[in-house]
Amino acid sequence: MTDRRDDDFRIRPSAPKNRGDRGRSFVSKVLRQAGKTSGGKSSLHRPAGKQKIGQRPRSRLGRGHTAARFAGEKLTPFSRRVTVKTLLVNQRWAGAQSLARHLRYIERNGVGRDGESGRAYGALTDEADLDAFKERCQDDRHHFRFIVSPEDGAELDDLRTYTRHLVGRIEADLGTRLEWVAVDHWNTDNPHTHLIVRGRDDIGKDLIIAGDYIADGLRHRAAELATEWLGPRSEREIQQTLQREVEQERWTSLDRTLKREAGDDGRVRIEQLNAPDLQRQRLLLIGRLQRLQRMELADEVQPGVWIIQADAEKTLRALGERGDIIVAMQRAMSGKQRELAVFQSGEDGRVIVGRVADKGLADELNDRGYLIVDGTDGKAHYVALPPRTELEQYPTGAVVEVKGAADVRAADRNIAALAVDGVYRADHHLAVAQGQAMPGRDPREVVAAHVRRLEALRRAGVVERMAEGVWRVPGDLAERGRQYDAQRLSGGVAVELKSHLPIERQTRMIGATWLDQQLIGGGKGLGDAGFGAEVKDALRQRADFLTEQGLAEQHGQRVILSRNLLATLRGRELEKAAKDITAETGLEHRPVADGQRAAGIYRRSVMLASGRYAMLDDGMGFSLVPWRPVIEQRLGQQIAATVRGGGVSWEVGQQRGPAIG
């Protein structure tokens, strides 16, 4: 008997080869034949460049593609409409604080039904732990943000239950459980829900949602649910909604219909509007075309044939945003007579000063905020903030300064002019300043302001600090300083907090306030109406208070301020704050003199009328040192600071080391 098995063999298939057929691949031929057997073209393969009209490339990749094809089957022209906005956030690109900042925004004060703060909830809880959710999302590649806005959201009443049912249907479509939190917002004329979904599925893998489900499927599910809850819209409701759209200066559903009906030549023919599905809207669509003609966005080139301008959609969307801005400004000013203005990011060198009348989010999905600034020029200004700006740092009523695109700073010119052989010395500048007549200005404050500017430029690598009070500066310092400011002004706007206190509270505060700086400067640039007039009245009250404190003398309309007014007020306030901290902690206060170094653990910051101060605890006592944003990430760590002329340089560690601010 032999072990040979001559009849045994094993198939080893090679890769399929293309043999003619115009280079068609083996897989392509299989799909083509499969399409024939199914009575039509295969849905499994579509040659590049021949995607279905309106379909995004790769839109079928991920969960939910199949569900997206059937999600809208129950929808009719009478179904409730729901707007869904979506943003996929790559957490590595957006930064570690992106999600935390967004969660703070959506839970901010005033968004609840009765004006209270927003309350986050989840699938099984009415009090979601956002900190725990944020921690679980920390290592995720991405997360999803959705804004679900039913057209009849006010009638739904219970948005929380509606959202939970909606997420349940989404989970069924995607074939996975979702981890999510949501906050309902009732602070607009159309209630809506912010839904944040973690970017992981129920087995811990990255959650990939098909593009066509995000584009259409989710919206269709939301509309189906709203229709089930409220019933279909009546003919009257639909007509009333469309009639309002005829005259609106924004992009409307009528405009979308006209865009869809326009031919390849961009023309809309009235005869097309006789189609059965457009019969109800025919007169309204013609009325909309006539309205667009009056706005110079459309024209009747021949009887019954209209052409819509190529940029009509862009123009109408911009007009819609302008209308939203006007509404926000009118609401913020509460009936006060103000000229309304929009601060443009490209306005080089322009500066406005005023109080924060209101603030909010112009784009809630991308966390882009805005301020309404009641200016000292008597105007109300709408200021669009750069991305990722924290609204919390600008309290309502606070005084701010808004600057346009960067211009060359006077401080940079001064530093360059005072530099000898490319070296600037603070002591030389102080000697020059003391020899010049500057009524109401402390020479040390002047030098300290220049030192702070040099420290900012040093961190940017523009100048080099050679020793304490000595810097090497480039010959083109002014231009390089301007370039640094331009890079820092993301969005072309910089907003500086001048005082967190409203002017009404500043009038009788012990501390160096913004009003004191205006008194020293003679109140220049203040208008005679609006906030400018209110500031003038507050300055008179402040002068009376300073006179009571022995820090000013009044001779008729003239006010003579005491020498070193700001330093005196700052010292008095620091002394009072230090006594309060000593009573609370039992630690001894260690005042920091000019040129002295303080070290300790950064325990907390203290907000005073004179500004914000950091408390450094050395174990036996504490010091209060001017705070800078650069140290906030070092809370609870050992740091050191050297104070000079009102400015401060920060160092890491107990020994002298690299400065950080």
Q: Indicate yes or no: pTM above 0.85.
A: no
Structure tokens at 578: 């230090």
Task: Round to whole Å and give the CA distance between 444 and 645.
Answer: 5
The rounded distance, in Å, linking the Cα atoms of 349 and 343 is: 12
- Residue 539, phi then psi, degrees to nearest 5: -65, -40
DSSP state, residue 230: H
Alpha-carbon distance 482 to 489, whole Å?
11
Collect all residues with Cβ–Cβ distance below 8 Å to 648 and sequence separation of at least 6.
625, 626, 628, 641, 642, 661
CA distance 131 to 230: 35
CA–CA separation, 588 and 598 (whole Å): 14
Task: Count how many Cα atoms sit within 13 Å of the Cα of residue 19 in the half-sphere of its side chain.
Answer: 3
Q: Return the C-alpha torsion angle 599, 605, 608, 611, nearest 10.
A: 70
The H or E element that residue 369 is part of is strand 368-375
d(C-alpha 178, C-alpha 171), whole Å: 6
Phi, psi (deg, nearest 5) at residue 353: -125, 135
For the chain, how many helices (H) and strands (E)?
21, 24
Q: Please, which residues bridge with residue 640 across strands?
A: 599, 651
**How far is residue 121 from each of residues 105, 181, 249, 397, 527, measured CA to CA in Å?**
15, 6, 37, 31, 48
SS3 labels along 522-540: CCCCCCCCHHHHHHHHHHH
> CA-based angle 77:81:84, to the nearest 5?
135
Q: Which one, of 643, 639, 608, lies nearest residue 625 by Cα?
A: 643
| Coil, strand or helix at 370 | strand
What parts of the chain have a pLDDT lower than 70? 1-60, 96, 345-349, 405-407, 437-441, 487-492, 645-646, 652-661
Own/partner contacts of 570-576, CB < 8 Å, gap of 24 or more, are 570/511, 570/512, 570/610, 572/510, 572/511, 573/509, 573/510, 573/511, 573/512, 573/608, 573/609, 573/610, 574/608, 574/610, 574/613, 574/624, 576/510
Q: Round to whole Å and give the CA distance between 144 and 87.
A: 6
Longest C-alpha distance within the chain, in Å?
132
Query: Order of strands across the sheet with 621-626?
Result: 588-589, 621-626, 611-617, 597-608, 638-644, 647-652
Instruction: Output the CA–CA distances (angstroms, integers) from residue 102 to 143, 364, 492, in the order listed.
Output: 12, 9, 22
Q: How far apart are CA 595 and CA 646, in angstroms?
A: 10
Q: Is the dihedral of CA 628, 634, 635, 638 positive or negative?
A: negative
pLDDT value of residue 52: 44
Phi and psi dihedrals of 315, rounded to 5?
-65, -45
Token look-up 């080893």 returns: 12
Q: Hey, what's the torsion of the CAs at 99, 104, 110, 116, to 10 degrees?
A: 120
pLDDT at 190: 86
At residue 125, the pLDDT reads: 93
